[in-house]
Structure 1
């Protein structure tokens, strides 16, 4: 049972059929350098050994294990855990990842020193099927700008003030059962009431699984994300046509496959966002300009075409002046463009 002293941090781990990976995740929290926390594990009616694994930790007074009586989905499970949280801060954690030992201390220090920031997250180092590092926008305005396109927060390292839930009546939308969609939708609402600032530190090792196991999940996530993006554009206040919404959704997630969309259409839409924001001031204009300029580069870079010289099209448009392309990527872009057009 929890101790009577209120912890500073409540760590919530929702679990569903994660028994194979759950022990390393739990251990990575229990062995943090920062120790003023409670750990709330919520099992969503797992069909494997997850609940038994979780309950084997109940001898630790910091650990509370809750169990849904039927499978209710990620949003319900997150909300259930939050109802039991007593800490000033809530730390999210996935059941198959591994937090670095200094994660909680780093995030506590950051929010204690930045009282206007409501939520922070960090970079993540992948392991398993990939070893890439996931990076996220840092400043509050960069986060708000990126929000129009995709999730600007590493949800497995999300760390926020519990008071935000109480003061603004915020909950995860439990009609959304897929992961990612519920997080993106929740963060989108959170940006309307507080600043989100990410830290450029790797605080978690993120487990990646074979893509063959995730194809259907990605499809469902993208469908839900398209709805969230449309809602965000309406919050932004920018008018858009169905074609512009299609363009926007297409260039919002990898691999940015354009199909019948032209690069000219992409630039026109991104420039429209930039110019509208100069008046709307949804985000700092310089931050928004950097965001859409990077999106312009990525779209051109990922869509080489024999018929249209994407490198030349990239360079001739105004947004190219507002994104600094690393030298290595410049070389790759030049090589891809040359090889494609001289095959």
Structure 2
């Protein structure tokens, strides 16, 4: 018999050493315009007092605080919180971000209005060390195409039907002990069983921290992402050599350095993806063409090789005809290519 007291949304907030930022994160959920929710906070043995901060909210009947007996990592912590979730929908939340007041309302409305969509996320506004806006592919086909290269959703705003867990048995892979790659791996498996569509609106303020350990973070995250990309390409079914896999992984992660990879090699690989998709119907051909054309532009535009005229190579290849450059961006591209080769 259904639990009539169950909330509409279960918000799962894993915590590890986020004491300094935890109150604003919790407060942003408790002050949502949609109030039919439960907030499940799971502390992963934080040594910084995060659990004590979380416990100060236990008087609120919407809040449940759990604590791992030992440090188990992000994946285990997410799964543990999900075991107690009673809502029709599951909302992810990070312990150092701030949800905008209408986040839950807008995401509930979106899934209610789109019954064929199983998971969504939104755009994010950075604050702290950066003020950029993170945008993501919107349509289901665009998500599937972009996912071959990188994470196609904003993980701190992920929102999905509880059925994804109960009917499809999805869980985060708790053998991934780091907080690098568990979200990408989960989304890749979710995309096999439900449609993923993103909302083109900003529903969360994403905290950016000083660049003190970014080099190590990037290396560890990219190593795990490389494994996930290889798995995705195999599921996509496209045949590839070790060299082509290297090309694919290199151009998927920004910032990157091509090394001894040439731009013609990159274009040949992207064109191969486009052709193979047309044969298999993995995604709408026009959407895939747009995706690989954008990747071709980014590769050329961000290529730091001062021995190559990246702009001329970009324009020389067929994919350039399928990505529209604004006049301003074209001028920046020309200038950058010139400066790199004449400094």
TM-score normalised by length of structure 2: 0.98
Q: Assess if the C-alpha contact under 8 Å between 1:304 and 1:336 holds in 2.
A: no
Distance 1:31 1:45 in 2: 27
Question: Which residues of 2 match residues 248-267 of structure 1 at below 5 A?
Answer: 248-267=248-267
Q: Which stretches in structure 2 are left out of the alignment for 5+ residues?
A: none
Q: Does 2:198 align with 1:198? A: yes
The correspondence of residues 148-187 of structure 1 with structure 2, limited to 5 A, is 148-187=148-187
Residue 4 of structure 1 and its aligned partner are, at CA, apart by 7.0
Deviations along 1:222-245, one digit per CA (max 9) or x if unpaired, are 100000000000000000000000
| Cα deviations by residue, 1:55-94 (Å, 9 ceiling, x for unpaired) | 0000000000000000000000000000000000000000
Aligned counterpart, 2:245: 245
The CA deviation string for residues 232-259 of structure 1, in whole angstroms up to 9 with x for no partner, is 0000000000000000000001013101
- Asked whether the 8 Å contact 1:19–1:49 carries over to 2, the reply is yes
Choose 227-236 or 301-310, whichever is displaced more: 301-310
Alpha-carbon RMSD across the aligned residues, in angstroms, is 1.1
1:220 aligned partner: 220
Task: Give secondary structure in 2 for the equivalent of 1:14.
Answer: strand
The answer to whether the 8 Å contact 2:309/2:338 transfers is no
Tell me, in whole angstroms, the C-alpha distance in 2 between the residues paired with 1:4 and 1:19: 34
1:297 aligned residue: 297
Q: Deviations over 1:178-231 (max 9, x none)?
A: 224000000000000010000110100001111222321221111000000000
Q: Secondary structure at the match of 2:167?
A: helix
Q: Is contact 1:11-1:38 (8 Å) kept?
A: yes
Seen in structure 2, the aligned counterparts of structure 1 residues 138 and 53 have a Cα distance that, compared at 3 Å, is: same
Hey, what does 1:271 align to over in structure 2? 271
CA distance in structure 1 between the partners assigned to 2:281 and 2:4 by the alignment: 46
Superposition map of 1:1-343 within 5 A = 5-343=5-343
C-alpha contact 2:257 2:304 (8 A) present in aligned 1: no
Task: Out of 225-234 and 203-212, give the one that drifted further.
Answer: 203-212
Deviation at 1:330, TM superposition (A): 1.2
Q: TM-score, normalised by structure 1?
A: 0.98
Distance in 1 between the 2:178 and 2:329 partners?
Answer: 34
| Aligned partner of residue 207 in structure 2, secondary structure | strand
Give, in angstroms, the shift of residue 164 of structure 1: 1.0
Contact 2:128/2:209, CA 8 A, preserved across alignment: yes
Aligned-residue offset at 1:292: 0.5
| CA distance, structure 2, for counterparts of residue 154 and residue 111 of structure 1 | 16
The CA deviation at 1:325 is: 1.8
Which consecutive segments of 4 or more residues in structure 1 shift more than 2 A? 304-307, 338-343
2:38 is paired with a residue whose SS is strand
